Amino acid sequence: MPPLQRGFRRLLGVLDAAATKLYGWPWNPLHQSGTIAVAMLVALIASGVYLILFYRLGAPSASVARMAADPWLGSWIRSFHRYASDLFVIAAVLHLIRMFAQSRSWGSRTLAWISGLLLLGVGFACAWTGFVMAWDSFGERLALNGARLLDALPILSEPLGRIFAGDGPVPSAFFFVNMFMHIALPLAMGAMLWLHVSRLARPTLMPPKRVTWSIVGALVLTAVLLPAELGPAANPFVLASHTPTDLFVAWWLPLAERLSPGETWGIGLVGMLALVMIPKWTRRPREGRWAPSVVDPRLCTGCNQCPQDCPWDAITMIKRDDDRPTLVAHVDPARCVSCGICAGSCAPMGIGPAGRTGRDQLAAARAELAGPAAGSAAGQVIAICCSQVPPSHVAALSERGALIQQVSCAGNLHTSVVELFVRSGARGVVVCACPPRDCVSREGPKWLGERLFNDREAELQARVDRRRITVITCAPGALGAALAAYDAFAGSLASLDIADSESLLELDTECEPVPLEAEGT
């Protein structure tokens, strides 16, 4: 992992831990950064529709000042609109950092990365036009800088900056075009958002209702108690000493004013290029941990479960090239992110990334049980930990006597492995998963829970005592809660007898028959 990525990952871990301690992992806003950005976009459109009703192209600053002076609705809705735009930028940047730090910026996620950058860029442009609409000293400052940057390009024959020079009133046409852009850009953002999530199955667009309404409530309260400042009306005959500047949207402004337009364009373009190139720079060789899933057509029964569970729409069912009457799964390696969720969904264990199919997991577990530590599982609690679980959680569980096993993602875990451990004499099995909204594979904890407890394919067999199985969420900053859950589970196991040994059952014959004869071996 590149040092920059590692640094961001560390920073993210600290922030995540702090937010989880405060809000608990189900409501941690940092886990919802992308969906919060979408929620803010919706809030911006809703509040913007109200504000546009009272905006006057002929008297922009006066109409906004009138809104700001209205104590009933205008003042707080205008402030809410402003703060929602700030939160949009904050959430989008946090989302970008999270995706980068978690190596979710390359491969099939490249489209989402690039479209996300575009969304953020268009969001900035939209905010720019919004501030110019208000036509206060800050809006004028943004307009002047925008004109300065555009005038440096060989596009317009007449310098745009002349319309703000003061030798005539700023034409209404300028405010019309600006307002048009402010309305049209969010529509473009809607289209880009569709593109952004187009490679996801079941995209989650909104945060949990509790988080959404808490944020909206907090923004409304802030808007009422601390209304956004409106600077004095734009005046080309006065040099303002300060402007009330929105640092979230115009953080670059003080720097750009010190540089020439050429230097500003240069730095901006290099920065954008660097961000666009991140998918290339963070790309990993498609082998080992990053090898795409493969299908063993001999084992595939055509049950259609893996396409349903794949969070990336990477699997389709196609016609077989042998004489069996079923379809066969086909993985598009360009869309596969190697999460291994398909391996957990496949009862006959015929799909998954190399080394992580159900059969591979089962073989590794058997080897573990038969190896030097043979018999160590008897009477123990086995903790199967997702590779994203913080090391502190793993160490704490180990200290409590749990036998640690690793799996790349909770959703990758095949339920047969859980059954094998229970039948090998383990007192119980704990699966340590990430918070569902922070799963790098998107749906790992969700499908794991369904397979273990709700009979989703490949379900944990009914013969396995569910009292011996649990899933605990291991989020940074929630070690205490995870250990409490573990202790409660371990305590509940004390009253249970040891499960039947695996030798009393023949797992292979318990499974559905696999028609291997079709491949002619």
Partner 1 sequence: MSGIARGALAVAASAVAMALIAAGSSAPVPFHAEEGGRLRLSWSARPERIERCREVSAKELAEREEHMRQRVECEGHFASYALVVALDGQAADTAIVRGAGMRHDRPMYLLRSFDVPAGRRRVRVEFTRRERSETKHDGDDDDSERRTSADSGISAGRAQREAVERARRGKAAIPPRLVLDTVLDIAPREVIVLTFNQERRVLEILRQDGQDDRASKASK
The binding site for partner 1 (CB under 8 A) comprises 21-23, 82-83, 86-87, 90, 137, 141, 157-159, 161-162, 165-167, 214, 218-219, 221-222, 226, 228-229, 235-248, 253-254
Nearer to partner 1, 158 or 323 (CB): 158
Compute the least distance from the CB of residue 443 to partner 1, in Å.
Answer: 28
| Of 25 and 312, CB closest to partner 1 | 25
Whichever of 129 and 243 has its CB closer to partner 1, that residue is 243
C-alpha separations of 366 from 298, 398, 408 in Å: 23, 21, 18
Structure tokens belonging to residue 211: 């988080």
Residue 226 vs 496, nearer CB to partner 1 = 226
SS3 (DSSP) at 429: strand
Q: Which is nearer to partner 1, 85 or 408 (CB)?
A: 85
Minimum Å gap between C-beta 118 and partner 1 is 24
* Residue keyed to tokens 């024959």: 157
**Of all helices (H) and strands (E), which one includes residue 441?**
none
Question: Of the two residues 169 and 515, which places its CB atom closer to partner 1 in the complex?
Answer: 169
Q: Whose Cβ is closer to partner 1: residue 243's or residue 408's?
A: 243
Q: Whole-number minimum distance, CB 168 to partner 1, in Å?
A: 8
Handedness of CA 191, 197, 200, 202 (dihedral sign): negative
Burial class, 327, CB count within 10 angstroms (exposed 0-12 / middle 13-18 / buried 19+) = middle
68, 72, 133 from 224: Cα distances, Å: 11, 10, 22
Q: Which is nearer to partner 1, 234 or 402 (CB)?
A: 234
> From the CB of 186, what's the least distance to partner 1, in Å?
19
User: How far apart are CB 85 and partner 1 at their closest, in Å?
Assistant: 9
Closest distance between partner 1 and the C-beta of residue 515, in Å?
Answer: 55
Taking the C-alpha atoms of residue 471 and residue 350, their distance in angstroms, rounded to an integer, is 25
Asked if residue 300 lies in contact with residue 343, where contact means CB atoms within 8 angstroms, the answer is no
CB-based contacts of 370: which residues, under 8 Å, 6+ apart?
none
Q: Across the strands, what pairs with 433? A: 473
- What sections of 24-71 are H helices per DSSP? 33-53, 60-69
Ramachandran angles phi, psi of 515, nearest 5°: -75, 75
Q: Residue 345 Cβ, how far from partner 1 at the closest point, in Å?
A: 37
**CB 255 to partner 1: min, Å:** 11
Output 235 or 492, the one with its CB closest to partner 1: 235
CA distance 173 to 412: 58
The minimum distance between CB 137 and partner 1, in angstroms, equals 8
Q: CA of 183: how far to CAs of 35, 90, 133, 318, in Å?
A: 22, 21, 11, 44
Residue in the structure block whose two tokens are 């809000």: 23
Closest CB to partner 1 among 244 and 302?
244
Minimum separation from the CB atom of position 167 to partner 1 (A): 4
Question: Helix, strand, or coil here: 6?
Answer: helix
In this structure, are strands 428-433 and 469-473 parallel, antiparallel, or unpaired? parallel
| Other residues' Cβ atoms within 10 Å of the Cβ of residue 266 | 12
Residue in 286, 384, 386, 300 with CA at minimum distance from that of residue 345:
300
Distance from C-alpha of 298 to C-alpha of 292, rounded to nearest angstrom: 19
